Amino acid sequence: MMYKMNVRATVAIRCLLTRRHISSSLSSTKRRSAACAFQTQHPRSDILQHDWRHYSTTSNSLESWKGNTMSQSDFMERDTVLVLSDNDEVCGSASKKESHLFTPTNPRGILHRAFSVFLYDASTKELLLQQRASTKITFPSVWTNTCCSHPLHGMDVNEVDSAEDVKDGTVKGVKAAAIRKLEHELGIPVGQLPMDSFKFLTRLHYWAADTVTHGEKSPWGENEIDYVLFATVPCKDSITINPHPDEVDDVCWVTQSKLLEMFADKDLLFSPWFRIIANRWMISKGGWWDDLDRTMTTNDFCDYESIHRFDPPQEHLGGGGNAGPLFVAEK
């Protein structure tokens, strides 16, 4: 059985997922409205050339980063992501906007660091999903894992992890970013999911053009080295969930079997990174979700050395830079 939460609810409410969120409530015009408005207000010519040698001077301190008062355009301009080498070495910075633009010059945008949180109810083994808001500029209205975002430069709580932090699995910077965004997107108060709640499992480098929602020549996409974080709560009623309407349209708790039903539903869209992670590691027999206790209490599934690399599904090739396959997908 699956549980669903109203966007403004603060407690979990049992129910069934009976709507077709994408096809019945959101036209393709509405899906693209936020991105079109942003492009009109902020043309490509106003983006500074990326300098791989220097960090941006933009400040993203907690005093200036106030998620509840910032628009999607503000995040695009002001968030300063960690630009990476192919080996996950921090070598510069870029605005969120610059790093996510797919152009002939940068056909896959700019490689940057990200994280994906998967939050489970330990008593039922259900996973909390979110449906990204229809007003999001990138990948609007898709269903995805609990929370996905980026560590940033210049935060009061340092979000930049070193190679040593990755090697020993502590990655406190990525975990601090996860706590910040879980509060912003889902309203989970700081303290309800402390840093030691999170289990860092591995990294993957994937890219994907946002062609499903923005069309074949979409100017938007993702090119990330993504840190996978698992976390559990004793039960879903033990945390407060109050999603931000500009970030999240819907949330629901799902079992493995329910997620597979949703994957098979052609009326539902899913983020490419979530599908990659779920199919590669989570839903197979003996996978991370299948043996959740072992995943959370041992290091048996932890791989801090590898960076697994994936091209996107066929429907996410292309975009504004007409990007083709970059890797041979891992099986």
User: CA Rg, the chain, in Å?
Assistant: 18
User: Does residue 147 carry a catalytic annotation?
Assistant: no
Helix and strand totals (H; E) in the chain: 9, 12
Write phi, then psi, for 48 (nearest 5 degrees): -70, 150
Write phi, then psi, for 15 (nearest 5 degrees): -170, 180
CA distance 43 to 20: 34
CA distance 310 to 224: 11
Q: By C-alpha distance, which of 277, 12, 250, 18 is closest to 123?
A: 12
Three-class secondary structure assignment of 162-201 = CHHHHHHCCCHHHHHHHHHHHHHHHCCCCCCCCHHHEEEE
State the CB neighbour count (10 A cutoff) for residue 310.
Answer: 22
Instruction: Write down the catalytic residue from 98, 147, 148, 159.
Output: 148
Instruction: Write down the catalytic residue from 98, 224, 247, 252.
Output: 224
User: Does residue 148 carry a catalytic annotation?
Assistant: yes
| DSSP class per residue in 210-275 | -HHHH-TT-SBEEEEEEEEEEEEES-GGGS-----TTTEEEEEEE-HHHHHHHHH-TT--B-HHHH
Do the Cβ atoms of 261 and 280 come closer than 8 Å?
no
Q: Which residues are catalytic?
A: 148, 224
